[in-house]
Amino acid sequence: MAVPKRKMSRANTRARRSQWKTSAPTLVSCPNRACGQPKLPHTACSNCGQYDGRQVLAV
């Protein structure tokens, strides 16, 4: 099992962590013509309640 020989300095730790970035979630428009709101892909639309052309949520 690998164990560091020395404590990593604060500058090196922060430099390494600076590469961790968050990304904005991918959004697609709702295929329902009456809705068209942005939604997460492969999920039911929270505005109109449709998924794959079917009503799956009671809104």
Residue type at 37? Q
Token readout for 36 is 């068209």
pLDDT of residue 1: 82
Whether the pTM exceeds 0.75: the reply is: no
Residue type at 50? Q
Token readout for 20 is 């961790």
Secondary structure, 3-state, the chain: CCCCCCCCCHHHHHHHHCCCCCCCCCCEECCCCCCCCEECCCCCCCCCCEECCEECCCC
Q: 59 pLDDT band (50/70/90 cuts)?
A: confident
- pLDDT digit string, tens, across residues 13-53: 999 999 898 899 999 999 999 999 999 999 999 999 999 99
